[in-house]
Each structure stands twice: as C-alpha cells, then as structure tokens.
Amino acid sequence: MRVLFLHQQPCVRALKYAVGLRAVRPELELGFAYRGRTLTEFYGSGDELFDRWWRLGSDLAGDLERVLAEWEPDLVHSHNLPDALTVLALELADVPVIHDVHDMQGLRNTPYEDGFPDPGDADELERAAVEGCAGLITVSDVLLGELAARYELPPHTRVHPNYALARDLPAALPTPAGGPPRIAYQGTLSRSGGHYDLYEIFAAIAAQGIELHVFAAREAAAYRDLEGVTVHDPLEPGALMGVLPAYDFGWAGFNAALNAAHLDTALPNKAFEYLGCGLPVITLRHRALARLVQEEGVGVVLDRVEDLGAALAALDVAAVRRRVAAARGRFTVEGNMGQIVELYDELTQPARTPTGRPAL
C-alpha cells in the first residue's frame, strides 16, 4: 500500500505516525507532500522515515496533481491545520482521503503560527474537509464530539491521541532523587498572547519557589530572563526523552485567555511523553487533558497556577508515580498504531460479504 501524507508544515505527530507505521506495517510505502520545512529541517530527524518528499510551491493545485500522478497513492492521509489541503486533495485525488484533525479551526481565536497566513474561509474549509473525507481521525474524544455537534461525520472515525514513541522512552525508570520537586516543561513557547504564551504562568511557578526547567522546541530567548526558571537549549526529540526522567513532574498547563475552547479538546504530545518518562503530569482545567489525568490518577489538576505549591505539598507522590509507571506502556504510538492501519485497510480494501466475496 502507498500512503501520501499531506501537511502544510510537517509536525512531530506525522513523525510519530511514520515510526509507528514502520513498526507495525513495514511494507507500507510512505510519501510526504508539504509546503514549509521537512521534519528533519524542523526537528533534526524524521525525513528518513519517508520514501519520497515533494515540496508544494505557489501552484498548489498543479503541484499536488503532479505528485498524485507520479506517486499513485492508494490513500491520502491529510493533516490539518489548515483544512485547505484536505479540501484540495478531495478535489484532485481519486483515492480515499483521511482528514487528521490536530486542531479545530472553529475553536481557535488566534492564528495557527505555522509560517503561513490562515485562510480567510476557514469555517467553510473545515466543514468541507470533515464532511467530505472518507475517514476522520482526531486527537481526543472531546474534539470528535465537538466536530460531531457541528457536522455530519464520515462512517469511519478514530481517536488517536499524541502518544509517545516507545522507541525513545527509557526501558527502566530511575529512582527519584528526593528533595524539593523539580518540574520540567518541554514544547512550544511564544510571547504572542496565545496558548503557548506561558511567560506569566512560569513566573507564577517560580514565585512559589518551585524549581522549573524549560526545554523549548525552538530557541525561546524571551524566557531566559525569568528569575528562578532555567531555560535549556533545544534538544532533538529522542535526546529530550533521555533527560526528562531526571525530573519529578511535567508541566502541561496552557494559557487559556484566548483559546480555552480549543485547549479543552487537546491531548498534547508532552503529556504522553512525560508519562512515558515516568513523570506525573501537572495541568490546569483543560477538559480532555484534565479528564485523562484524573481518571488515570497520574498527576495533578489545578484550578489556578498559584495553587501548585499547596497541591504538591498535599500529594502522595510515591502513589502517583506508581500509577504512572504502571500506565506508561499503554500510551505509546507503537502500541496503538494498529487502529490506524485498520482504518487504512477499511478504506482501501473492497467491502466483503459474509462469504468472503467482494460486495457488488
């Protein structure tokens, strides 16, 4: 089977898919059509997981049409945001198109910040992509519910959170060092006022005398002047998984001032990577993530950042860490990729009758 990934700016979720697909279905041929930078250009690795790469230029329709003719995929796996490339694939491809919803445009109040301007007709594109695709994947059941409340969903849907890569996780967890808690944050940061603008949140953590270490995905110079916060140089994703187990907790609370509805649907990469490295997750009341943390008993959900010190003082840390250690193997890409391969098969193989013969 040939699968064409399609994404304006390839992200770490696509990298994780490729690792998982190579692990469970190594004979798959994977190609990637994109506009921004490749995975290796963005993260330091990942290009090697795909058989072919095509950069789409200013003539998007013409370039994608040429890629489809050259690669002849059996399936297009299109990732948002934006939703525009899925809609274009639906117009041009004569094979099933999967729409993989990382973010729901209709719930955002800030630009996507992938280096390209947001489309002006975002709401119409979202509807066309969701209702026109052959299969729909979302990062959480909350996000799937939000889409179902607005649109007619395709018959084939999956929820596939941003699990951690088992290949990068430590085989065994270190013994906690003891002493005052040390919190790590890894991922995107900005100073735009959006949900990755964590400057004031980090300042509030440091003001409580709690040690915070920041591993930004890209250089975050604006955060280096925060007193009491240690900002480390960016690390390649695999290397980052090697250093996180040395900390006691992972921070996954975001700035909800502008994008609270969007954050309620998110199950971010960092949460599963913290768990995979043995770290309990600390978050705020973002609905999908708070539900995961509370139902699994693998961290702390705060009403306010200012409550962190008191919450940690009251926490049975050893019990929480035992639950994290017991659960971490369930939250890996490789362990959950079977449902995505199953979706690929459902969309590309002829429907069969109970006798095993193709349906007419």
Query: In this structure, are 126 and 230 located in the same domain?
Result: no
pLDDT at 352: 45
Query: In this structure, are 91 and 203 located in the same domain?
Result: no
Task: Give tens-digit pLDDT for 104-138.
Answer: 988 977 776 666 677 778 899 999 999 999 999 99
pLDDT at 114: 66
pTM over the 0.85 mark = yes
Task: Give tens-digit pLDDT for 58-92.
Answer: 999 999 999 999 999 999 999 998 999 999 999 99
pLDDT > 70 fraction of the chain, expressed in percent and rounded: 96
Query: In this structure, are 312 and 341 located in the same domain?
Result: no
Question: Does a structural domain hold residue 26?
Answer: yes
Query: In this structure, are 117 and 256 located in the same domain?
Result: no
Residue 356, pLDDT > 80, answer no
Task: Give tens-digit pLDDT for 302-330.
Answer: 999 999 999 999 999 999 999 999 999 99
Averaged pLDDT of the chain: 94
Task: Give tens-digit pLDDT for 334-346.
Answer: 999 999 999 999 9
| Number of C-beta neighbours around residue 298 at 10 A | 23
Query: In this structure, are 72 and 31 located in the same domain?
Result: yes
Question: Does a structural domain hold residue 358?
Answer: no
Query: In this structure, are 196 and 133 located in the same domain?
Result: no
Query: In this structure, are 106 and 189 located in the same domain?
Result: no
Query: In this structure, are 177 and 134 located in the same domain?
Result: no
pLDDT at 351: 58
Query: In this structure, are 285 and 342 located in the same domain?
Result: no
Strand order across the beta sheet in which 97-101 lies:
52-55, 29-34, 2-7, 75-79, 97-101, 135-138, 156-159
Nearest to 79 by CA among 49, 36, 141: 36
Residue 358, pLDDT > 60, answer no
Question: Does a structural domain hold residue 235?
Answer: yes
Residue 256, pLDDT > 90, answer yes
Question: Does a structural domain hold residue 354?
Answer: no
pLDDT at 58: 94
Question: Does a structural domain hold residue 184?
Answer: yes
Query: In this structure, are 220 and 309 located in the same domain?
Result: yes
In this structure, what CATH number is given to the domain that contains residue 228? Answer: 3.40.50.2000
Query: 93: pLDDT confidence band, cut at 50, 70 and 90?
Result: very high
Q: Is the dihedral angle over the CA atoms 341, 342, 343, 345 positive or is it negative? A: positive
* Residue owning tokens 């250093």: 243
| Domain of residue 14, residue span | 2-163+334-348
* Mean pLDDT to the nearest integer, 13-31: 97
Nearest to 321 by CA among 284, 253, 273, 275: 275
The rounded distance, in Å, linking the Cα atoms of 147 and 28 is: 30
* Mean pLDDT to the nearest integer, 273-283: 98
**216 pairs with which residues across the strands?**
187
Secondary structure class of 301 (helix, strand, coil): strand
Query: In this structure, are 214 and 260 located in the same domain?
Result: yes
Percent of the chain that is helix, strand, coil (3-state, to 5): 40, 20, 40
pLDDT at 113: 66
The rounded distance, in Å, linking the Cα atoms of 359 and 107 is: 40
* Mean pLDDT to the nearest integer, 137-148: 97
Name, in order, each residue with C-beta under 8 angstroms of 53's C-beta and a sequence gap of 6 or more.
Answer: 31, 32, 33, 34, 38, 47
Nearest to 86 by CA among 154, 39, 133, 35: 133
Question: Does a structural domain hold residue 66?
Answer: yes
* CB-based contact 144:159 (threshold 8 Å): yes
Give the chain's domain count.
2
Residue 42, pLDDT > 50, answer yes
Task: Give tens-digit pLDDT for 177-228.
Answer: 889 999 999 999 999 899 999 999 999 999 999 999 999 988 999 999 999 9
The rounded distance, in Å, linking the Cα atoms of 78 and 103 is: 13
Query: 355: pLDDT confidence band, cut at 50, 70 and 90?
Result: very low
Question: Does a structural domain hold residue 200?
Answer: yes
* CB-based contact 81:112 (threshold 8 Å): yes
Query: In this structure, are 170 and 286 located in the same domain?
Result: yes
pLDDT at 357: 44
pLDDT at 360: 40
Question: Does a structural domain hold residue 170?
Answer: yes
Beta strands in the chain (DSSP E): 2-7, 29-34, 52-55, 75-79, 97-101, 135-138, 156-159, 182-187, 211-216, 229-232, 249-251, 281-284, 299-302
